[in-house]
Structure 1
Amino acid sequence: MKHYLVTGGSGFIGAALVQRLVKDGHKVRVLDDNSRGHTGRLEGVLDDVEFVQGDIRDGGAVNDAVRGVDGVLHLAAVNGTKHFYQKPEVVLDVGVRGMLNVLDACRANGVGDLVVASSSEAYQTPPAVPTPEEVPLVVPDVLNARYSYGGSKLISELLAVNWGRTGFDRVAIFRPHNVYGADMGWDHVIPEFVRRGVEAVDASPGNGRIAFPIQGDGRQTRAFVHIDDAVDGIVAVIERGAHLGIYHIGNPEEVSIADLARRTLACLGREAEIVPGPAAPGGTDRRSPDIAKLTALGFAPRIPLAQGLPGVVDWYAARTRADAGRFGQAAE
């Protein structure tokens, strides 16, 4: 049993990781300001963890949180494409200042084991698909606010690797690829598709096809990994990842955005008629990870999209309709 600090531990991936660590018998401390997370995600284990409410940008708070642990799992970040465009300075501040504070705190407190969450956004447009970890990390356009997140992760990797060369027993990095699941927040493609799909279905009763606008022509692809599989992969890195090792966390099953929209509407009992629209500036045509390095640690994804998507659609559909009901009652 080890004592871990999980930064961002009330976030979507962080909370799922905390749940798993507690289940596996570890002692866990969580540092989060709950600006985007919430302790409801820790239901069932909240009494078993030490929850510290604090900002990752506060060096004193981070130092206090790191003191006395065996290892740090650094996941604190501002994710969600909307935030990349709307508040890029906050995205960068949390990402870069947070990483520096964690590194400083680890050194000050003699904590030699650090695992850092990066992102596939660090390499943005991959030169090869499926994409190995060795591709160049790229910020295509510093004037495009979208790259605030990818840039913060690129810098975080540079900091972690180069600080990690001395004074640490092990620094490992993992790059999640489109992790999905219930309660992941609304600022992602699957929850957004569900929300718009429910609204369209409820506004068009019957059995006809539903006009469904999307960004781009729909041929763009992504590879989604269910949160349960993602946590299995992260735990593999925590337990067996090499010093200065970098690992993709994902499922290489590739799906087009148009097909994802069709599958989402099918889970709602209707057929989608895809309506192409302008592509978002800075988007990527294809993304799917090569996970050979992770499989060498014993990982194998267990949940294909066809199995994992329906339950997530149901979760978000129920909350979309519940919110609509509450707002409707308030309007009356």
Structure 2
Amino acid sequence: MSESRDAVLITGAGGYLGSRLARRYLESAKQQVILWLHAENRAELEQKSNALREALGPAAHNADLRGGDLCAPEPFADIDPGEVSSIVHCAAVTRFNVKKELARKVNVDGAVKLYEFASGCKGLERLALASSIYACGLRQGVISEEALVDKPAFSNHYEWSKWESERRLQEDFDALPWMVLRVATVVAETARGQIHQYNAFHNTLKLLFYGLISLVPGDRETPLYFVTADFAVDALAAALERGEHRGIYHICHTQDESMTLGGLIDTAFSRFTLDSDFRERRILKPLFCDEESFRLLADGVDSFGGDIVREGLGSIVPFAPQLFSRKSFDNQRLKKVMDVYAAPDAGELVSNACDYLASTRWGRRLADAA
């Protein structure tokens, strides 16, 4: 280990954004980089370490891979706190349908264990918590880059867990040099639409493409906030390098730069119509409905529907209340720390993502070809 006490610790380094941020740090070669992976035992750690090294390529040679379980009493016991000058906490369960107990154990209690470890890092200069723009819950109107003091209502336990992990940091560990990075929904690698990881956004489009959903919950005019992985990593890196202590940054675009729910459905059907299989099925565009009607539909499908429908709806239902909640995220602080801030055309981004999903059949054709 380095004796300079200038190592950056990235938790959740095997995750979608964590691994990309790890690559950025490793390629810059400015600091010793400790990559922490979720692993319940040594065999799992070895397996995940090998997979991450392969994914990172040559850059992995400069990485110090460690691991642990956020549900364990001391998940960071094998890391010397005296070595660490910066921490980026990305480790979390990020599914909207996560159960409350798991969200509490991993996202809240696990974060507190990280904060306690950070309190012992005497040379700590920065602790960044990767959060979500939906830590604001069902609040409407302008959402500023500020602490969410009053507890809002939430769509799901994931949102609650991110709000609670922010609250614990700001109230119980305020002496730490903290910052909060609230990230929007990542829908593609770049504006060209390539997709390497699927989430509720992609699952919803899959149901639409195969004609498995006749109703969509929400208000057509509700804005949706999408980013690319490239933008998210650029923004995260900029905030980490130039952001202020106790700064909160929205890793997202503005309402004017974003698409509405109605725009998403219209764009998706317009692009899917270019696919011959989709045209042959003569699928009708779904109708918008209220939340209660959608839940009744989902309950019926849960009892009698197929696995693909249950799986898809399982990721939509917990997020459905957000589709009625109009909010406008401020990102002025983020813009100030980025050398170049540029939002892709939202319609073009979604069009390209839809084209990629349809042409690869949600990655299945790529897997078959391999």
- The interval holding the TM-score normalised by the smaller chain is 0.7 to 0.9
Instruction: Note if 1:51 corresponds to 2:55.
Output: no
- Quote how far apart the aligned CAs of 1:88 are: 1.7
Aligned counterparts of 1:47 and 1:314: Cα–Cα separation in 2 = 36
For the pair 1:199 / 2:198, whether they are aligned, the reply is no
Residues 1-332 of structure 1 aligned to structure 2 (within 5 Å): 3-26=7-30, 27-33=32-38, 39=52, 42-44=55-57, 45-65=59-79, 67=81, 68-83=83-98, 87-112=99-124, 113-129=126-142, 131-134=143-146, 136-141=148-153, 146-166=155-175, 168=176, 170-182=177-189, 183=195, 185-189=197-201, 191-200=202-211, 213-252=215-254, 253-268=257-272, 269=274, 273-279=285-291, 280=317, 282-283=321-322, 284-298=324-338, 300-317=341-358, 319-320=360-361, 323=364
Q: Which range is displaced more, 131-140 or 7-16?
A: 131-140
Contiguous gaps of at least 5 residues in structure 1:
204-210, 328-332
Aligned letter for 2:287? V
C-alpha displacement of 1:198: 4.0
What is the rounded CA distance, in whole Å, between the counterparts of 2:78 and 2:363 in structure 1?
40
The verdict on how the C-alpha distance between 1:99 and 1:51 changes in structure 2, with shifts beyond 3 A counting, is: same
1:199-257 residue CA offsets vs partner (Å, 9 max, x unmatched): 34xx9xxxxxxx86422343322121222111121112111111111111111123111
Instruction: Identify if the C-alpha distance between structure 1 residues 16 and 98 changes in structure 2 by more than 3 Å, giving closer, same or farther.
Output: same
**Structure 2 spans left out of the alignment, 5+ residues:** 41-47, 190-194, 292-316
> Which runs of 4 or more aligned residues in structure 1 lie more than 6 Å from their structure 2 counterparts after TM superposition?
324-327
Provide the C-alpha distance between the structure 2 equivalents of 1:231 and 1:177, rounded to a whole number of angstroms.
12
Aligned length: 307
Partner amino acid, structure 2, of 1:230: A
C-alpha distance in 2, partners of 1:102/1:47?
Answer: 26
Q: Find the aligned partners of 1:289 and 1:51 in 2 and give their Cα distance.
A: 36
The separation in 1 between residues aligned to 2:366 and 2:146, in whole angstroms, is: 49
Q: Hey, what's the Cα distance between the residues in 2 that align with 1:121 and 1:193? A: 18
RMSD between aligned alpha carbons?
A: 3.3
Distance across 2 between alignment mates of 1:223 and 1:90: 26
Going from structure 1 to structure 2, the CA distance change for 1:43 and 1:155 (only over 3 Å counts) comes to same
| Distance in 2 between residues matched to 1:326 and 1:12, nearest whole Å | 19
- The percentage of counterpart residues that share the same residue type is 21
Deviates more, 1:170-179 or 1:272-281: 272-281
Aligned partner of 1:303: which letter? P
Name the TM-score, length of structure 2 as normaliser: 0.71
Residue 274 to residue 197, structure 1, CA distance change in 2 (3 Å): closer
Contact 1:222 1:288 in 2 (8 A): no
Question: Letter of the aligned partner of 1:172 in structure 2?
Answer: M
Q: How far off is 1:184 after superposition?
A: 6.0
Higher helix share: 2
